[in-house]
């Protein structure tokens, strides 16, 4: 394997300047200087903590619903700093944890409706980007979920049968045999795939930065370098001033632990990414990457990739948890990057020797239920959303749209879905060291199960059943 993260633009994910944090920010046009910080006490109709996708979309749809609202966004760094600006660039119609509701007969109908809303959200993101002139490289070519070994093939077959039983047809999910997979994308040893139409490749930082600029033009106040230390009632404390708001929305996802009292509600699990140098036309032809398909396999430890507009492959896998819900600073020489790069080459052996120019990590939010939720208390005028578990680009759009409905008191098809104010929304993660032990044990079992399947070990079903028993 050729050089990995040896060039310019490979700083750790928490280092400054922002330009060199990761490929997405390194390649975004325009300045990345923070907007002014909050420097005085203010009052506002709606205060939103966090200028990632959830906060940005909430503000966007609140302004559409009521242009006269005074909305203030408070961001600890810059808009799109966290997972919103450093994810895999999948705007996916898949919602992590939705099977919990789909498998419950009492919630199946509303869960199917939620899934269809997630399908719609992919198209809607593209429509907003076009309407607001946000050049986020939106390309809805879909995503491939690929099987490369018999055990994965069996799981993939079970998945497509389940989807068909729920009423989702070829227009949503299409089965591809070995020849069709090879024609779509030349992934090594692929035996089958499901093509999900409702997925778009995007440039995530361009989308986040573009939304922030759009909101600024609409009169939304965005204060950057203004971390919120605590929320007491409808009062927010920052180093530069106090904010009193009619309504408060917390949209901090994997960074929620920075706010007093919220450390165990959503915890950060790190996802790792690398980006190749621009591929030559010969390399593109060798792997048949002629459409910007998103792709990943059906391993338990999820992998994901896309072809960028300038013909690089952005590729990642998840996730790593650090004791005490710590946010890790990754350095160019960290061994995790070599492992991720090696996984990409196993997908495409023809890329052996390719250079990797960037590597970074990001913290995604994970709830104790392993499901996302949208929450709003109309009496307290307080809401929050998150726990997207790595599928936040599309989910955050729908969450923001739903929060806008809830804040303005609108009853819509979005507010009547099972992820809105779920009964278990207040469930918290265990204290340390139990949290660390549980998460690490689950990750290790997933690794053992995947490894056993690849090697054909008879222990594979044992690991799988143990996972299902301990972590249903």
* Number of C-beta neighbours around residue 390 at 10 A: 25
Distance, in Å, from the CA atom of 7 to the CA atom of 419, rounded to the nearest integer, reads 43
Has residue 4 got a pLDDT over 60? no
| Pairing status of strand 192-196 against strand 71-74 | unpaired
Distance, in Å, from the CA atom of 396 to the CA atom of 202, rounded to the nearest integer, reads 14
| Pairing status of strand 241-250 against strand 199-201 | unpaired
pLDDT digits (tens, 9 = 90+) for 343-387: 999 999 999 999 999 999 889 999 999 999 999 999 999 999 999
For residue 191, the SS3 value is coil
The band of 2, judged by pLDDT with boundaries at 50, 70 and 90, is low
Q: What is the pLDDT of residue 318?
A: 76
User: Residue 433 phi/psi, 5° resolution?
Assistant: -90, 5
Kindly state the average pLDDT of the residues 333-342. Answer: 88
Has residue 333 got a pLDDT over 80? no
Q: What is the pLDDT of residue 13?
A: 40
Q: What is the pLDDT of residue 221?
A: 98
E-only strand ranges, 277-355: 294-297, 303-307, 313-320
Q: What is the pLDDT of residue 3?
A: 56
Q: What is the pLDDT of residue 20?
A: 65
Contacts of 423 (CB under 8 A, 6+ apart): none
Torsional sign, CA 76, 228, 400, 255: positive
Return the C-alpha torsion angle 168, 89, 369, 461, nearest 10. 70
Kindly state the average pLDDT of the residues 138-142. Answer: 98
Has residue 331 got a pLDDT over 90? no
Q: What is the pLDDT of residue 18?
A: 76
The band of 7, judged by pLDDT with boundaries at 50, 70 and 90, is very low
Q: Are 23 and 9 in contact (CB under 8 A)?
A: yes
- Which is nearest to 419 in space by CA: 114, 122, 125? 114
The band of 17, judged by pLDDT with boundaries at 50, 70 and 90, is low
Has residue 234 got a pLDDT over 50? yes
- Which is nearest to 398 in space by CA: 379, 380, 376, 415? 415
Q: What is the pLDDT of residue 35?
A: 96
Percent above pLDDT 70 for the chain: 96
Has residue 157 got a pLDDT over 60? yes
Distance, in Å, from the CA atom of 140 to the CA atom of 142, rounded to the nearest integer, reads 5
Q: Name the β-bridge partners of 176.
A: 193
Helical spans, DSSP H, in 33-149: 53-65, 98-102, 108-131
Distance, in Å, from the CA atom of 72 to the CA atom of 43, rounded to the nearest integer, reads 9
For the chain, the first-to-last Cα distance in angstroms comes to 39
Torsional sign, CA 75, 76, 78, 79: negative
For residue 74, the SS3 value is strand
* HSE value, Cβ hemisphere, 13 Å, CA-based, for 160: 24
Q: What is the pLDDT of residue 10?
A: 37
pTM listed for this prediction = 0.95
Distance, in Å, from the CA atom of 227 to the CA atom of 335, rounded to the nearest integer, reads 31
Q: What is the pLDDT of residue 425?
A: 85
Percent above pLDDT 90 for the chain: 86
E-only strand ranges, 65-107: 71-74, 90-92
In this structure, of 4-13, 50-59, 92-101, 462-471, the range with the lowest mean pLDDT score is 4-13
* Number of C-beta neighbours around residue 309 at 10 A: 17
The band of 468, judged by pLDDT with boundaries at 50, 70 and 90, is confident
Q: Name the β-bridge partners of 238.
A: 241
- Which is nearest to 275 in space by CA: 17, 24, 12? 24
Has residue 9 got a pLDDT over 80? no
Q: What is the pLDDT of residue 293?
A: 97
Q: In terms of C-beta density within 10 A (0-12 exposed, 13-18 middle, 19 or more buried), how is residue 12 classed?
A: middle
Q: What is the pLDDT of residue 302?
A: 87
Has residue 12 got a pLDDT over 50? no
Q: What is the pLDDT of residue 15?
A: 37
Answer left, alpha or beta for residue 458, where phi above 0 means left and psi between -120 and 50 means alpha.
alpha
Distance, in Å, from the CA atom of 156 to the CA atom of 392, rounded to the nearest integer, reads 23
For residue 258, the SS3 value is helix
| Pairing status of strand 266-276 against strand 313-320 | antiparallel
Contacts of 366 (CB under 8 A, 6+ apart): 254, 266, 267, 268, 269, 319, 387, 389
Distance, in Å, from the CA atom of 87 to the CA atom of 385, rounded to the nearest integer, reads 18
- Which is nearest to 54 in space by CA: 365, 443, 447, 464? 365
Would you list the DSSP string of 357-393? EEEEEEEEEEETTSS-EEEEETTTTEEEEE--TT-HH
Contacts of 100 (CB under 8 A, 6+ apart): 369, 371
The band of 16, judged by pLDDT with boundaries at 50, 70 and 90, is low
Q: Are 48 and 221 in contact (CB under 8 A)?
A: no
pLDDT digits (tens, 9 = 90+) for 376-430: 999 999 999 999 998 999 999 999 999 999 999 999 999 999 999 999 888 999 9
Kindly state the average pLDDT of the residues 82-107. Answer: 95
For residue 401, the SS3 value is helix
In this structure, of 9-18, 148-157, 165-174, 250-259, the range with the lowest mean pLDDT score is 9-18
Mean pLDDT of the chain: 93
Q: What is the pLDDT of residue 314?
A: 97
pLDDT digits (tens, 9 = 90+) for 19-49: 765 899 999 987 788 999 999 999 999 999 9
């Amino acid at each position: 394997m050729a050089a990995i993260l040896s060039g310019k633009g490979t700083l750790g994910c928490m280092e400054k300047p922002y330009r060199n944090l990761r490929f997405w920010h390194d390649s975004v046009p325009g300045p990345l200087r923070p907007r002014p910080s909050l420097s005085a006490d203010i009052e506002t109709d709606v205060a939103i903590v966090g200028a990632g996708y959830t906060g940005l979309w909430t503000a966007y749809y609140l302004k559409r619903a009521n242009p006269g609202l005074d909305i203030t966004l408070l961001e600890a760094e810059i808009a799109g700093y966290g997972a919103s600006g450093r994810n895999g660039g999948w705007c996916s119609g898949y919602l992590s944890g939705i099977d919990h509701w789909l498998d419950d007969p009492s919630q199946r109908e509303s869960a199917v409706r939620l899934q269809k809303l997630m399908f719609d959200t992919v198209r809607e993101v593209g429509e907003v980007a076009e309407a607001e002139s946000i050049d986020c490289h939106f390309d809805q070519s879909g995503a491939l979920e690929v099987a490369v070994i018999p055990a994965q093939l069996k799981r993939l077959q079970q998945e497509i049968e389940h989807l068909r039983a729920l009423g989702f047809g070829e227009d949503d999910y299409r089965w591809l045999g070995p020849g069709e997979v090879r024609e779509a994308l030349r992934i090594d040893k692929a035996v089958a795939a499901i093509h999900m139409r409702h997925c778009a490749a995007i440039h995530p930082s361009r989308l986040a930065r573009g939304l922030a600029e759009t909101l600024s033009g609409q009169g939304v106040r965005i204060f950057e370098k203004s971390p919120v230390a605590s929320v007491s009632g409808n009062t927010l404390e920052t180093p530069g001033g106090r904010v009193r708001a009619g309504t408060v929305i917390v949209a901090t996802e994997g960074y929620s632990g920075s706010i007093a009292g919220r450390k165990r509600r959503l915890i950060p699990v790190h996802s790792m990414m690398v980006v190749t140098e621009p591929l030559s036309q010969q390399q593109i032809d060798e792997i048949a990457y002629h459409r910007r398909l998103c792709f990943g396999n059906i391993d338990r430890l999820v992998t994901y990739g896309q072809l960028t507009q300038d013909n690089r492959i952005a590729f990642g896998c998840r996730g790593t948890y650090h004791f005490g819900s710590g946010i890790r600073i990754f350095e160019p020489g960290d061994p995790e990057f070599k492992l991720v790069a090696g996984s990409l080459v196993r997908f495409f052996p023809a890329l052996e020797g390719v250079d990797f120019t960037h590597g970074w990590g990001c913290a995604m939010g994970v709830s104790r239920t392993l499901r996302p939720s949208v929450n709003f208390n109309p009496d307290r005028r307080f809401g929050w959303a998150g726990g997207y578990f790595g599928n936040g680009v599309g989910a955050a759009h729908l969450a923001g749209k739903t929060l806008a409905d809830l804040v303005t008191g609108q009853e819509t098809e979005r507010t009547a879905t099972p992820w809105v104010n779920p009964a278990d929304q207040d469930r918290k993660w265990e204290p340390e060291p139990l949290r660390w032990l549980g998460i690490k044990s689950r990750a290790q079992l997933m690794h053992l199960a995947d490894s056993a399947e690849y090697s054909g070990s008879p222990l594979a079903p044992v690991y799988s059943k143990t996972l299902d028993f301990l972590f249903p």
